[in-house]
Amino acid sequence: MKVLIFNSLYYPNIIGGAERSVQILAEGLLEWNITPVIVTTSDRDFVDYVNNVKVYYVNVPNLYWMKTSKEQPKWKKPFWHLFDMYNPLVSKKISIILQSENPDIIHTNNLAGFSVAIWDLAKKFGIPVLHTLRDYYLLCPSSTMFRNGGNCKSQCKLCKLYSFIKMFCSNKYVDGVVGVSKFILNRHLNFGYFRNCKIKTFIYNPIKSTDFISLRRKRKRKKVVFGLVGVMSPNKGTEFVLRFFKELDLLNAKLLVFGKGINKDYEKRLKAKYASHNIVFRGFGEPEKIYNDLDVTIIPSLWHEPFPRVLIESYSYGIPVLASNRGGIPENVIEGKTGFIFNPDEKEDFKKKLKMMIYYVCSGRFSYEEIVKFSRKFQVELVVENYISQYKKILDANI
C-alpha cells in the first residue's frame, strides 16, 4: 500500500508538534511495509529523502510561504487566507505528483498552504481521502479559534467567510476523518463538517518508545522543579504561569522554561520581566536533557489545544503534568496518577493544584513507572496500526 501524506510543513521546517507527529507516523509506516510519500510546502520545488521517506517539497503559489507568515506585513494576510480558501493553482503541481506516485490513498493533515483543493483533486483522480484534524484551520483562519484572550464559542462572520468552501469540500470529498482527540473531532462534527464520512474516529498522536527513567526520580525531593516546554505564546498560557511563579515566590519550587517565543520581541519581554532566582529561561534542549531536569511539566494552554505533544513526551519520561482543562488535554490526565487538571479561569485553582503537585512529588505519591506504563498507549506501533486499519476500511468501502 502506498499512502500520499500531505502536511503544511515537514522536516526540517518544524514549527510545532504537528510536524513531529506526522514524521513519526510516516517513518512508523515503513516498519509495516507501507510506503509513505510526503507532500509539503516549501519556498522552492525539490524532492528529497528524510530517513528513507520520500518528500516532495512544493512551492505553492500564493503571496508568501506559510512558514514565514509571522514575518509578513498584516495587510498581506487577509489576501493570503482568501486565496488559501481554495487555491486552484496548486492543482497542476500536485497532479504531476499523483500521476507519478499513483497512491492507494491520500492522507491529509494540516492543509494551510495547500488549501482544500487537494480533496477535490483527489476525488478527480479517484483516490480516497482520510483527513486528520490537528488544528482548527477548517474553522478559523488563525487555526486556533482563540481571540482577545478567550476561546471562540462560535464562528464569527469572518471565520464563516473563510470557511464555507472548506465545510462544503469536507462534506463532499473526504471519506474518513480522524481527530487527534475526541474534543477536536466533536468540535468539527458539531459545526457541520464531515457529514458524509464513512469513518469518524480519533487517534491520539504517536510517540517514539523510550525506556528512560532517571533513578533520582525514585527518591523523595525537597525542592520541585517545574518546566514549561515549547513555544512561548499568549494562547499557550506562558505568561499565566510566569506571573504566578513570580508572585508566589515559592521557596520549594523552581521553574525552568524551554523553547523560544512566538516572536523575538515577545520572548525578550518575557525574559526581561520574569527572569528571577526561581524562574530560569533555558532555550532549546534535547528531550532527554529537558525531562531529566524536571519533576513536573506544566501545560497551561488557554486555547482549546487539540492534543499537545509535550503531554505524551512528559509521560514517556515518567514526568507527571499540571495541565489546563482546555481542548483535548483532560482526556489523558488521570488526576492523582499522572498529574492534575486546573481551570485557568479560576486563579485560586491553579495555586491549589500547584501546591498539590509539590506535595505529591515531595512525598513520593507519583509512580513514575506507572506514568511511563500509561504512555505506552501512545507508542508509535499502536498508533500506526490504528491508522493502517482506517486506511483499509476506507479502501474496502471504495472498492
**Mean pLDDT calculated for residue range 275-281:** 89
Phi then psi for 391, rounded to 5 degrees? -55, -45
Give the pLDDT score at 277: 85
For residue 324, give the 3-state DSSP assignment: strand
How far apart, in whole angstroms, are the C-alpha atoms of residue 38 and residue 56? 6
pLDDT at res. 389: 97
> Rounded to the nearest 5 degrees, what angle is found at the Cα of 106, between the Cα atoms of 111 and 49?
80
Residue 279 has pLDDT above 80, yes or no: yes
Mean pLDDT of the chain: 92
Percent with pLDDT over 90 in the chain: 80
More confident residue, 266 or 208: 266
Q: Output DSSP code: residue 89.
A: G
Residue of 128, 137, 184 lying closest to 9 (CA atoms): 137
Amino acid 283: pLDDT: 87
pLDDT at 30 over 80: yes
* pLDDT tens, position by position, 303-332: 999 999 999 999 999 999 999 999 999 999
Show me where the domains of the chain are located. Answer: 2-206+379-394, 215-377
137 to each of 32, 132, 134, 154, 157, how far by Cα in Å?
30, 12, 9, 14, 15
pLDDT at 360 over 70: yes
Lowest mean pLDDT among 217-221, 310-314, 357-361: 217-221
> What confidence score (pLDDT) does residue 216 get?
45
What is the percent of the chain where pLDDT is above 70?
96
Per-residue pLDDT at 251: 80
| Closest residue by Cα to residue 354 from 152, 393, 81, 362 | 362
Q: What is the pTM of this model?
A: 0.93
Which residues are 6's β-sheet partners?
A: 39, 108
CATH superfamily of 215-377: Glycogen Phosphorylase B; (3.40.50.2000)
**pLDDT score for 315:** 94
- Asked if residue 333 has pLDDT above 80, the reply is yes
Would the pLDDT of 361 be above 50? Answer: yes
More confident residue, 149 or 106: 106
Whether 213 shows a pLDDT value over 70: the answer reads: no
The pLDDT of 97-104, averaged and rounded, is 97
* Cβ-contact 134, 306 below 8 angstroms: yes
Give the pLDDT confidence score for residue 215 in this predicted structure.
42
Indicate if 215-377 has the same CATH topology as 2-206+379-394.
Answer: yes
Instruction: Please give the pLDDT value at position 187.
Output: 97
Range 2-206+379-394: architecture per CATH:
3-Layer(aba) Sandwich (3.40)
Q: At what angle do helices 309-316 and 368-375 cross, to 10 degrees?
A: 130
What's the mean pLDDT in 96-123? 97
How large is the C-alpha radius of gyration of the chain? 21
Task: Determine how many CB atoms are found less than 10 A away from the CB of residue 102.
Answer: 11
pLDDT tens for residues 34-86? 999 999 999 999 999 999 999 999 999 999 999 998 888 989 999 999 999 99
